[in-house]
Amino acid sequence: MTTAHAAAAVPVMLDLRAHRKVPGSPDGYMALWELLEPVLVTLDPRSGPRVRLDLGEEGEVGVWFLSPATAPVPFSAATPFAVRGVLEPPRVRYVCDTCRASGTTTYAPFTCTGCGTKERPGRVCDAHAVFLEGSLRASCVRHEPTCRCGRPGRGWCGGPRCRSGRAWCDDHLVPHPGDASLAYCVDCHADRFPACERPGCPATGHIRCEHLGLDDARACGRRVCGEHVMRWQIYGARSKGLALCGRHHRDLRGSAPEALVALVVAGTVARSQARRGNRSGGRRAAFLPRIGIVRHIFINTCQRVLDMGAVDALFVRLQDDLRRRGGRDGGNLVQTALRLLDEQAASRREDVQRFRDSHEEGRGHFARLRTLLQQSGKHELADAVTFSDYRRKSNILFVRVPQDMRSRFIGTGGAVVQELRTRLGINIQLERE
């Protein structure tokens, strides 16, 4: 036998798939060739490109002439041959550990972690592989996963706590509300599909209550569905207000302005930290509302009417308190709150000055209103009505009238207030009580 580099070598391939003693070394192949060559030189490759030689108890060896048309005829003892390849019997590289224990050899395409060791994973064949719902992970029968109650597992839980790492039986699996083929353990199902806080509501509470105090470690977090969530509109009509559970929404009405300012700041801080600053893709960064909005929050929430200077003073006092706290034990929440308050300071000054200019003009309109009431003989009503607000841009004068005198101020069919609007040339509105 020559090497494959011989110029006139006859290329052949050996087929050892039916041979019982496959050589394990180059010397073994040389010994095998010495048995084959005396027979090969007597053959004519053109009569058949493939021949099988019987070696008795050792089985058969096939010889394939790869280029019979170019082979010299006849062969002689000097004819060089080149073995281009060898077809060996298939060997099972991965043997099923379960089958091996019973004395059989079966290919095992799957891994059973229970059968193996850290250095060598165990193997399991098709017949002995056990699969649970929720994962393509295989196990053998001996290491079939069990539930914590000891019963055989039916499926893996892919929820946030288990992450497909724990198996559960039928009694401890809860189906996905919209897909019966998926199931979770009780705890993961409660995390992924929490119940709405409203008693008897079957919907998923996918919204968390954002109520947060500046001294709280975390927000309330009660879960509310889209139908029962209460939105505290502190950012204007175009942005979603803070989501509140029923309890914290009810508590707003009895809260003092100082507490409401702290809630506005803390809720905005939480949103700012969750969004990690400015983001593209339509997601707005979180900013504190202008104090003009905050003033109306007080009116609508706790029925307190404050001028802009008083509202600004609430933010300034909170800012000073946070600065003192930040120097001692202030955390990330306090630092973020101070940053947002610093960013809001310029707009607060603008709003206060605009409010003062507008109110100076509004009080002039209000003085004319009282004069008209006195001239029409409504002296008691003129003494009872008080100034509330004036919107220069929309030309609206807001006044406060005692509840028992409102009907007299409005008049039958709104005749009195409409006459006042016409004569003053402004839109007069009653402030909500």
> pLDDT (tens digit, 9 = 90+) per residue, 181-233?
889 999 999 889 999 999 999 899 999 999 998 888 889 999 999 999 999 98
- Contact yes or no for 259/213 (Cβ under 8 A): no
For domain 364-430, the CATH class is alpha beta
- The confidence score (pLDDT) of residue 327 equals 54
Sequence-ordered list of residues with C-beta below 8 angstroms from that of 94, at least 6 positions apart, any chain? 107, 108, 109, 123
Helix ranges (DSSP H) in 224-331: 246-252, 257-275, 291-302, 308-328
Model pLDDT for residues 95-124, shown as the tens digit of each residue = 898 898 889 999 999 988 777 766 677 899
- Contact yes or no for 347/290 (Cβ under 8 A): yes
Backbone angles phi, psi at 427, to 5 degrees: -90, 115
CA nearest neighbour of 43 among 81, 6, 17, 8: 81
- The confidence score (pLDDT) of residue 307 equals 83
Give me the residues paired with residue 123 across strands. 111
Question: CA–CA distance from 217 to each of 5, 214, 303, 333 (Å)?
Answer: 79, 8, 30, 9
- The confidence score (pLDDT) of residue 113 equals 76
- The confidence score (pLDDT) of residue 354 equals 86
- Contact yes or no for 211/267 (Cβ under 8 A): yes
The domain ranges of the chain are: 10-87, 97-192, 194-252, 364-430
Exposure string over 73-94, b if 16+ CB within 10 A, otherwise e: eebeeebebbbeeeeeeeeeeb
- The confidence score (pLDDT) of residue 276 equals 53
* Residue ranges for the chain with pLDDT beneath 70: 1-7, 117-119, 275-285, 327-331, 433
Place of tokens 């028992």: 404
Backbone angles phi, psi at 396, to 5 degrees: -115, 130
Dist. CA 426–CA 420, nearest whole Å: 8
Helix (H, G, I), strand (E, B) or coil at 39: helix
- The confidence score (pLDDT) of residue 216 equals 85
